[in-house]
């Protein structure tokens, strides 16, 4: 196990979410101390339940988009900031459209300010959704995307695109060591059973003995990355000299029908 994070103090926004809780765990196991910031809008307390007793783990329950938390107050030294806070599944961001826009824009800017004021390295969790309804396959980082700015998904896609713009601006204008990763479909323990994403949906349908809801012919493809591999990628990026954007995901594409048959 790499020790490159030992004795560092990391802030993880969205640390009580699916990906964030695995990231907090891995940072602790590599010897870092962790400040988890979360407002529990889509995350769950039980995701971090086992970490609360660890003296190297601290929880700050706050909304990073709220002006009263300016910049999101963290006392003392901070070496690394991982910005993961945002509703992420379509079901969640359709239910929280304005909050999703706020966290991608105001929230991300406040967390950048926190990193800047502490002289910390910063990593932002962006998404393959910045490519929108892509006209290029596969999507390489140089592709600028095809996003509808006024459709219902724009609350997520455009918020993440704004985040990428403001992160890039802090890098250019303020010299912040800021990194962008674009995360593709990820699966693993702690996904919410009802969040509508394909793997959790199929597994819970199978456990309940119900038919699996393959949409259409199931010939559409996705590449699914296991959450531990994603976390390894996020930490490799933070430990590297790269700024990105870097796509993070599994390159092995499967049809939805294949995934259903496997489940
Ligand atoms: P998640 O919903 O499980 O976790 C997000 C966390 O952020 C939750 O704990 C939520 O309570 C917290 N949060 C939301 N708004 C907040 C705010 N204003 N202040 C403080 N905390 C707030 O989602 P996830 O799947 O773990 O995704 C984590 C990050 O990775 C997101 O930024 C998401 O866009 C990105 N991402 C995830 C995937 C994936 O497949 N899971 C794919 C692409 C990108
Ligand atoms: N999907 C499906 N049945 C479901 C949920 C999803 O066939 O119950 C399909 C969906 O049409 C899409 C793919 O699985 O083609 C991945 O969907 P998901 O929402 O997990 O991810 P995204 O579309 O955001 O990549």
CB-based burial label for 27 (10 Å; 0-12, 13-18, 19+): buried
Percent of the chain past pLDDT 90, that is, above it, reads 93
Least confident range of 142-151, 159-168, 190-199: 190-199
Q: Residues 138-150: what's their mean pLDDT?
A: 96
pLDDT reported for residue 1? 46
**What's the CA gap between 120 and 234, in Å, rounded?**
16
Query: What residues act catalytically?
Result: 156
**What's the CA gap between 58 and 62, in Å, rounded?**
13
pLDDT tens-digit series, residues 27-78: 999 999 999 999 999 999 999 999 999 999 999 999 999 976 555 679 999 9
Residue of 13, 18, 59 to test ligand 1 pocket, by largest number of atoms within 8 Å of CB: 18
Please tell me the pTM assigned to this model. Answer: 0.97
Cα–Cα nearest to 141, from 77, 184, 173, 194: 184
Q: Residues 8-36: what's their mean pLDDT?
A: 98
pLDDT tens-digit series, residues 200-231: 999 999 999 999 999 999 999 999 999 999 99
Query: Of the ligands numbered here, which is closest to the C-alpha atom of 38?
Result: 1
Q: How far is the CA of 197 from the centre of ligand 2 (A)?
A: 6
Query: Of the ligands numbered here, which is closest to the C-alpha atom of 160?
Result: 1
Specify the residue with its C-alpha closest to ligand 2, atom 1. 198
Percent of the chain past pLDDT 70, that is, above it, reads 97
Q: Among 189-193, 195-199, 257-261, which range has the highest average pLDDT?
A: 257-261
Q: Write phi, then psi, for 4 (nearest 5 degrees).
A: -65, -15
Are the CB atoms for 198 and 214 separated by under 8 Å?
A: no
Specify the residue with its C-alpha closest to ligand 2, atom 14. 198
pLDDT tens-digit series, residues 158-178: 999 999 999 999 999 999 999
Q: How far is the CA of 41 from the centre of ligand 1 (A)?
A: 9
Question: Is residue 98 scored above 60 in pLDDT?
Answer: yes
**What SS3 class is residue 247?**
strand
Residue 195 pLDDT grade (very low, low, confident, very high; cuts 50, 70, 90): confident
pLDDT reported for residue 73? 76
Question: Is residue 194 scored above 90 in pLDDT?
Answer: no
Least confident range of 19-23, 26-30, 135-139, 239-243: 135-139
pLDDT reported for residue 56? 98
Question: Is residue 2 scored above 70 in pLDDT?
Answer: no
Residue of 84, 127, 190 to test ligand 1 pocket, by largest number of atoms within 8 Å of CB: 84
pLDDT reported for residue 12? 98
Residue of 255, 256, 262 to test ligand 2 pocket, by largest number of atoms within 8 Å of CB: 256
Q: For 160-228, what is the HEC assignment?
A: HHHHHHHHHHHHHHHCCCEEEEEECCEECCCCCCCCCCHHHHHHHHHHCCCCCCCCCCCCCEECCEEHH
Q: Where are the beta strands (DSSP E) in the chain?
A: 9-13, 33-38, 57-61, 80-83, 121-127, 178-183, 186-187, 221-222, 225-226, 246-248, 254-255
Q: How far is the CA of 217 from the centre of ligand 1 (A)?
A: 30
Question: Cβ < 6 Å from ligand 2: which residues?
Answer: 185, 196-198, 201, 213-215, 220, 222, 256
Query: Of the ligands numbered here, which is closest to the C-alpha atom of 219?
Result: 2
The average confidence (pLDDT) of the chain is 95
């Amino acid at each position: 196990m790499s020790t490159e994070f030992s004795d560092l103090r990391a802030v993880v926004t969205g640390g009580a979410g699916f990906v964030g809780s695995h990231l907090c765990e891995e940072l602790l196991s590599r010897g870092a101390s962790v400040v988890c910031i979360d407002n529990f809008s889509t995350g769950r307390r039980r995701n971090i339940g086992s970490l609360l007793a660890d003296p190297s783990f601290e929880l700050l329950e706050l909304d990073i988009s709220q002006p009263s938390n300016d910049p999101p107050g963290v006392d003392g030294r901070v070496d690394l900031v991982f910005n993961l806070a945002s509703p992420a599944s379509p079901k969640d961001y359709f239910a929280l459209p304005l909050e999703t826009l706020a966290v991608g824009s105001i929230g991300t800017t406040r967390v950048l300010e926190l990193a800047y004021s502490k002289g910390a390295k910063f990593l932002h969790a962006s998404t393959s959704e910045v490519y929108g309804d892509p006209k290029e396959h596969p999507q390489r980082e140089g592709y600028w995307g095809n996003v509808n700015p006024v459709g219902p998904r724009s609350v997520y896609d455009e918020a993440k695109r704004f985040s990428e713009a403001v992160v890039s601006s802090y890098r250019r204008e303020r010299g912040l060591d800021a990194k962008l990763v674009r995360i593709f479909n990820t699966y693993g323990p702690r996904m919410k059973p009802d969040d509508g994403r394909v793997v959790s949906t199929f597994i819970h349908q199978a456990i309940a003995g119900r038919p699996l809801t393959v949409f259409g012919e199931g010939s559409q493809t996705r590449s699914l990355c296991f959450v531990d591999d994603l976390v390894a990628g996020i930490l490799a990026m933070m430990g590297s000299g790269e700024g990105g954007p870097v796509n993070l995901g599994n390159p092995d594409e499967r049809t939805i029908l294949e995934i259903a048959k496997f489940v």
